Amino acid sequence: MSGTGRDGLFGGLFGRGAVGAGDQDWLQAMLDTEAALARALERAGLTPEGTGLAVTQAARAERFDVAALGRQATLTGNPVPALVRALAEQLPAGPKEVVHRGATSQDIIDTALMLLARRAIDAIDADLLAAADRAAALAREHADTVMAGRTLLQQAVPVTFGLVAAGWLTAIDQARSELDRIRAAGLAVQFGGAAGTLAALGEAGPQVAALLAGELGLAEPVLPWHTDRTRIIRLAAALAGVCAVLGKIARDVTLLAQSEIGEVAEESGAAGRGGSSAMPHKQNPVAAVLVLGCTRRAPGLLGTLAAAAEQEHQRAAGAWHAEWETLADLMRLTGSAASWSAALLSGLRINAARMRRNLDAARGLPLAEHVTAVLAPALGRLTAHDLVAAASARAVEEDIGLTAALLGDADLASALAAAGIGPAELDAAVAPESYLGASAEFIRRALAAHAGPDGAAADARQPGNGELR
């Protein structure tokens, strides 16, 4: 992990943001757990007054040699035994005896992981909120910005960019809600002792566990979860869900920013961002690319954690160990993706004119469904569908518009005229603004949901005519 820290070669790319899951973060989280345990033991009346404070004052990561602890970890399979000795060495005789009492190594590492997860969720949520707020602003600003909808990468019926942004917004908000649920109830203290019985503390074990949970602000589980790893899977799945949402947004941006499409672009920001080592003209969507560089790794990490959930008896032989760096990597990458996404959306430039030109270049073909609906009362639905399909094929073959292809058939033009359908009616049918369905209502709903009950009246205004009213 040495190359993935904030100051490493790839740290600015894949370690962006405030999520801490490096060596120092791990060390402090483990020390915080040991200190909280000492305070809990004192509050339970099991140790002399002042011992909890003494351990807490000594439990500062900068006092410890991470490299030395890492070397000693190879003797025991994890760094906790060495950390316990190093912490005890900094204490006088009384408090020294309190350190790690009743605990096992897994209690310290699992609880530290929960502390890291809480801090990571807080940092990720802050960036997700910034990204969501910007998506909401884009939805408002572009509620009437018509563009081509695309299905299977081909132009479909028209949409608005405001609706696209509203889709991003809703997905981010849902991912935030899942993270909030995990933070509120899914992060629990681990304290079970050697085999989950807390036998070393006798009848006081459950009391100390409850006090430890309170000291750390974590949930108190029904019983220790040493080999019940569903808690880890739920956390990992929520993080992977965030990555899925952010990856979709970034992929949309890379597709819309292609030279031949040119409907969005990233702000260059820092001098040189978006440049190429070989092609001076390039303006690459760097933020979107780096979001994808982070999020593409999430499924594999989630898969590793799911596979590691099958653990033996009261302590796993290897599966538990596989979780540590895997989940730390997932937290770091999710945090980096969230930070890059906030930057991406805050600097996203929208080319409404290019959106309209790309849609108009299709000469009405994306509105074939609407034209069919207009013709159906006069011709019947199936007949109208077949005639519009044939006209669409002719429009492509002859490089003409859909209206021209329909009116180019003398018999069809005569039948349409008899039904009161002429060039004006067909031109109206292929106008993108005439076939946006419930886009405005969906944008309104997304903004209302994002604003919440207190802000709904202000932010859930109806889009239309270039503004929300």
Residue 184 lies in a domain: yes
CATH of the domain at 385: 1.10.40
pTM strictly above 0.85: yes
- Hey, what amino acid is at 33? T
Question: DSSP assignment, residue 221?
Answer: -
> Could you say which of 2, 276, 414, 434 is catalytic?
276
Identify the CA nearest to 35 among candidates 95, 121, 94, 110: 95
Q: Which of 301, 324, 352 is the last residue of a domain?
A: 352
Whether pLDDT at 455 is above 70: no
Residue 463 has pLDDT above 90, yes or no: no
If phi > 0 it is left, if psi is from -120 to 50 it is alpha, else beta; for residue 452 that is left
Say if residue 260 is in the same domain as residue 281.
yes
Nearest residue to 468 via CA among 139, 130, 132: 139
Residue 262 has pLDDT above 50, yes or no: yes
262 and 202 belong to one structural domain: yes
> pLDDT tier at 242 (50, 70, 90 boundaries)?
very high
If asked whether residues 170 and 233 sit together in one domain, one would say yes
Whether 246 and 391 share a structural domain: no
Determine, yes or no, domain membership for 390.
Answer: yes
Residue 161 pLDDT greater than 50, yes or no: yes
Do both 265 and 322 map to the same domain?
yes
Burial per residue of 253-266, b for 16 or more beta-carbon CB atoms within 10 angstroms, e otherwise: bbebbeeebebbbb
DSSP state of 22: S
**Same domain, yes or no: 382 and 339:** no
The answer, yes or no, to whether residue 395 has pLDDT greater than 60, is yes
Answer whether residue 353 shows pLDDT above 50.
yes
Q: Is residue 72 part of a domain?
A: no
- CA distances 391 to 155, 378, 397, 409, Å, are 17, 17, 10, 9
C-beta of residue 222 within 8 angstroms of C-beta of residue 188: no
**CB within 8 A of 291, min separation 6: which ones?**
246, 247, 249, 250, 337, 340, 341, 344
Residue 7 has a pLDDT of 64
Rounded to whole angstroms, the Cα distance separating 4 from 7 reads 8
How far apart CA 408 and CA 341 sit, in angstroms, is 49
DSSP structural state of residue 462: P
More confident residue, 453 or 17: 17
pLDDT higher than 50, residue 278: no
Reading the block at residue 404, the tokens are 């021209």
Whether residue 92 is contained in a domain is answered as no
d(CA 56, CA 35): 5
Mean pLDDT over 288-300 rounds to: 97
198 and 119 within one domain = yes
Q: From CA 251, how far away is CA 292, in angstroms rounded?
A: 7
Marked catalytic residue, from 296, 315, 394, 445: 315
- Report the candidate in 153, 319, 155, 334 with the shortest Cα–Cα distance to residue 235: 334
Structural domain range at position 392: 365-429
What's the longest Cα–Cα distance across the chain? 104
Distance (Å, whole) CA 307 – CA 73: 24
Last residue of a domain, one of 324, 352, 380: 352
Residue 462 lies in a domain: no
Instruction: Tell me: do 127 and 163 sit in the same domain.
Output: yes
- Average per-residue pLDDT in the chain? 91
Examine the fold and report which residue of 352, 381, 399 is the final residue of a domain before the chain moves on: 352
Q: Are residues 249 and 377 in the same domain?
A: no
Residue 302's CB: how many other CB atoms inside 10 A? 20
Q: For 372-398, what is the mean pLDDT?
A: 92
301-311, pLDDT tens digit by residue?
Answer: 999 999 999 99
Spatial separation of the C-alpha atoms in residues 327 and 298, rounded to whole Å: 10
Going by C-alpha positions, the residue among 95, 51, 135, 85 that lies closest to residue 344 is: 135
Residue 163 lies in a domain: yes
* 188 within domain boundaries: yes
- pLDDT surpasses 80 at 112: yes
SS3 348: strand
> For this structure, is 315 an active site residue?
yes
Same structural domain, 249 and 378: no
User: Quick check: is 336 catalytic?
Assistant: no
The number of distinct structural domains making up the chain is 2
Note whether 347 and 387 are same-domain residues.
no
In a domain, 50, yes or no: no
The whole-number average pLDDT for the span 350-355 is 98
On whether both 141 and 111 belong to a single domain, the answer is: yes
Task: Give the mean pLDDT of 174-194.
Answer: 97
pLDDT digits (tens, 9 = 90+) for 412-440: 888 888 888 999 999 999 999 999 999 99
- CATH at 231: 1.20.200.10
